[in-house]
């Protein structure tokens, strides 16, 4: 049996985007529930010798259900080895995924997602083509039995109403937190704007030593890590997507990255390292990648990570890469994380080493499978005004082989979640900021976080 356990890191490989199989699934009637339909999205998106990562989304298109059990079979000897946000068992080629305690009840048009790592034969890894929910095979159609029901197929983004055009709770350009310190963060400022539509053009623009405003249009497919030099503002036009690669801010400063969707990256989506300073990462979406969504390490400092959404992914945000790097990291790694939506992601939200104070406020943690925040190796983390929903382990001290840090928690909101572990004191926050009420964070952040939620 494979299920989520707190404080245990999953495989280094997680989920990236490569192959998708979608099918309609009929849900059998049980008790007072009527037969209805749903959609299953199965993504196998990252493969390495002997292993792969995958994510699955079940969307109920008909009458509400109280639990679900999804089955499929593999045709090429694949085996599930680890899972989160569901209990997954396997007998031969037959796989069964049972809902977790918090995601079994699905209203009409509601979805539940889970992820897993598996093994394959290094020759063929075809996606399953037939699914069944609660024992009823997929038919590809929807047959509502409740009068007046008119099921629709929802998109991949939650239907949370019209997005705000500016970050709620912000002011001016919306920048708050550590990136306002050390002279502030302005990116390319008023420099000329370049619009890029290809990997080669993007690589050239990011790598220029001149200040620039770079607008990304369409989907750019790429691989590896693209170097981002100093004094850059990188903005995604509507629907802009970086598929397959990531951005590497390596020793540079004054960089802004906003309104982009990153998917299927083969290393990190955004890597900030080697004493990079004054970085603002805002209103981006991250899904189905290999390693970290946003990793900050090796003496980097004065960073704000705000209004981002992470979903369908394992390792979200690492702050400090090694227990052995104190000489470079102590006195640095000062980061603000605010108004981010950790939407069913698994761990590192963030996982902190050495940085003090690290400020984690007004974030929405929904259905987090592993843990929320971990303070380790003498770090000091202030966790305040966050909304934790269906998150058994919201925050704790120490992680894996890393010793404990300190963590102060105040004014957080807990819904069907654990109470967390605190201890010690944290250095003072030097900048001004406005706190939203923790009870309002779920609605505020689910409407405002991620790419496509601002007009810039």
Reported confidence tier of residue 106, pLDDT bands at 50, 70, 90? confident
Reported confidence tier of residue 331, pLDDT bands at 50, 70, 90? very high
pLDDT tens digits for range 427-447: 999 999 999 999 999 999 999
Residue 136: what pLDDT? Answer: 77
pLDDT tens digits for range 297-317: 999 999 999 999 999 888 899
Total tally of structural domains belonging to the chain: 2
- Range with the lowest mean pLDDT among 8-22, 301-315, 365-379, 381-395? 8-22
Give the domain-ending residue among 104, 137, 170. 137
Residue 10: what pLDDT? Answer: 31
Reported confidence tier of residue 253, pLDDT bands at 50, 70, 90? very high
Q: Do 87 and 222 fall into the same domain?
A: no
Higher pLDDT, 54 or 193: 193
Residue 27 predicted with pLDDT over 70: no
Residue 153: what pLDDT? Answer: 27
- Buried residues in 252-262 as b, exposed as e (16+ CB within 10 A): bbbbbbbbbbb
User: In percent, how much of the chain has pLDDT > 70?
Assistant: 80
Domain with residue 333: its CATH number is: 2.160.20.10
Work out the burial of residue 209: count CB atoms within 10 Å of its CB; fewer than 13 is exposed, 13-18 middle, 19 or more buried: exposed
* pTM confidence score: 0.67
Cβ neighbour number for residue 356 with a 10 Å cutoff? 21
pLDDT tens digits for range 224-246: 999 999 999 999 999 999 999 99
Q: Do 206 and 99 fall into the same domain?
A: no
Residue 46: what pLDDT? Answer: 57
3-state DSSP of the chain: CECCCCCCCCCCCCCCCCEEEEEEEEECCCCCCCCEEEEEEEEEEEEECCEEEEEEEEEECCCCECCCEEEEECCCCCEEEEEECEEEEEECCEEEEEECCCCCCECCCCEEEEEEEEECCCCCCCCCCCEEECCEECCCCCCCCCCCCCCCCCCCCCCCCCCCCCCCCCCCCCCCCHHHCCCCCCCCCCCCEEEECCHHHHHHHHHCCCCEEEEECCEEEEEEEEECCCCEEEEECCCCEEEEEEEEEECCEEEEEECCEEECCCCCCEEEECCCEEEEEECCEEECCCCCCEEECCCCEEEEEECCEEECCCECEEECCCCCCHHHHCCCCCEEEECCEEECCCECCCEEECCCCEEEECCEEECCCCCCEEEECCCEEEEECCEEECCCCCEEECECCECECEEEEECCEEECCCCCCCECCCCCCCCCCCCCCHHHHHHHHHHHCCCCCCCC
Containing domain of residue 66, as a range?
A: 19-137
Catalogue the active-site residues: 348
Q: Do 269 and 347 fall into the same domain?
A: yes
Give the domain-ending residue among 114, 137, 160. 137
Residue 17 predicted with pLDDT over 70: no
pLDDT tens digits for range 175-211: 999 999 999 999 999 999 999 999 999 999 999 999 9
Kindly state whether residue 251 falls inside one of the protein's structural domains.
yes
Kindly state whether residue 60 falls inside one of the protein's structural domains.
yes
Q: Do 377 and 293 fall into the same domain?
A: yes
Q: Tell me the average pLDDT across 406-413.
A: 97
Q: Do 124 and 223 fall into the same domain?
A: no
Residue 312: what pLDDT? Answer: 86
pLDDT tens digits for range 132-166: 888 878 775 444 333 333 322 222 232 222 333 33
Residue 68: what pLDDT? Answer: 86
Q: Residue 7 has which token pair?
A: 């404080």
Query: What's the CA gap between 218 and 239, in Å, rounded?
Result: 6
Residue 77 predicted with pLDDT over 50: yes
304 neighbors 176 (Cβ within 8 angstroms):
yes
Q: Tell me the average pLDDT across 402-410.
A: 97
Kindly state whether residue 270 falls inside one of the protein's structural domains.
yes
Kindly state whether residue 198 falls inside one of the protein's structural domains.
yes
Kindly state whether residue 262 falls inside one of the protein's structural domains.
yes
């Amino acid at each position: 049996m494979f299920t989520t356990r707190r404080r245990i890191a999953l495989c280094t490989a997680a989920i990236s985007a490569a192959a998708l199989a979608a099918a309609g699934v009929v849900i059998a009637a049980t008790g007072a529930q009527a037969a209805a339909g749903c959609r299953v999205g199965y993504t196998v998106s990252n493969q390495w010798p002997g292993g792969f990562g995958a994510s699955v989304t079940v969307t109920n298109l008909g009458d509400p259900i109280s639990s679900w059990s999804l089955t499929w079979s593999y045709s090429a000897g694949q085996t599930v080895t680890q899972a989160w946000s569901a209990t997954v068992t396997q007998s031969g080629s037959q796989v069964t995924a049972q809902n977790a305690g918090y995601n079994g009840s699905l209203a009409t048009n509601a979805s539940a997602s889970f992820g897993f790592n598996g093994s394959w034969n290094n020759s063929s890894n075809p996606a399953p083509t037939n699914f069944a929910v609660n024992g009823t095979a997929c038919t590809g159609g929807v047959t509502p039995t409740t009068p007046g029901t008119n099921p629709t197929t929802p998109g991949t983004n939650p239907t949370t109403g019209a997005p705000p055009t500016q970050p709620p709770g912000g002011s001016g350009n919306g920048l708050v937190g550590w990136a306002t310190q050390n002279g502030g963060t302005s990116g390319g400022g008023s420099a000329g704007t370049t619009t890029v539509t290809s990997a080669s053009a993007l690589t050239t623009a990011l790598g220029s030593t001149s200040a620039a405003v770079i607008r990304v249009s369409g989907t750019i497919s790429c691989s590896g890590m693209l170097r981002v030099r100093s004094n850059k503002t990188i903005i995604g036009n509507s629907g802009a997507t970086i598929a397959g690669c990531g951005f590497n801010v390596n020793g540079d400063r004054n960089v802004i990255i906003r309104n982009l969707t990153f998917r299927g990256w083969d290393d990190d989506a955004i890597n900030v390292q080697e004493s990079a300073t004054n970085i603002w990462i805002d209103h981006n979406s991250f899904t189905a990648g290999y390693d970290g969504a946003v990793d900050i390490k090796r003496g980097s400092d004065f960073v704000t990570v705000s209004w981002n959404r992470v979903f369908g992914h394992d390792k979200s945000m690492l702050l400090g890469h090694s227990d052995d790097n104190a000489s470079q990291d102590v006195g640095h790694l000062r980061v603000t994380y605010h108004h981010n939506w950790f939407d069913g992601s698994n761990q590192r939200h963030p996982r902190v080493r050495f940085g003090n104070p690290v400020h984690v406020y007004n974030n929405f943690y929904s259905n987090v499978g592993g843990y929320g925040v971990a303070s380790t190796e003498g770090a000091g983390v202030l966790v305040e005004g966050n909304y934790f929903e269906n998150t058994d382990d919201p925050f704790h001290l120490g992680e894996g082989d890393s010793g404990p840090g300190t963590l102060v928690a105040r004014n957080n909101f807990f819904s069907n979640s654990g109470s967390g572990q605190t201890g010690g004191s944290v250095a003072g926050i030097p900048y001004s900021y406005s706190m939203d009420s923790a009870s309002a964070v779920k609605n505020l952040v689910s409407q405002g976080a991620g790419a496509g939620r601002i007009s810039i």
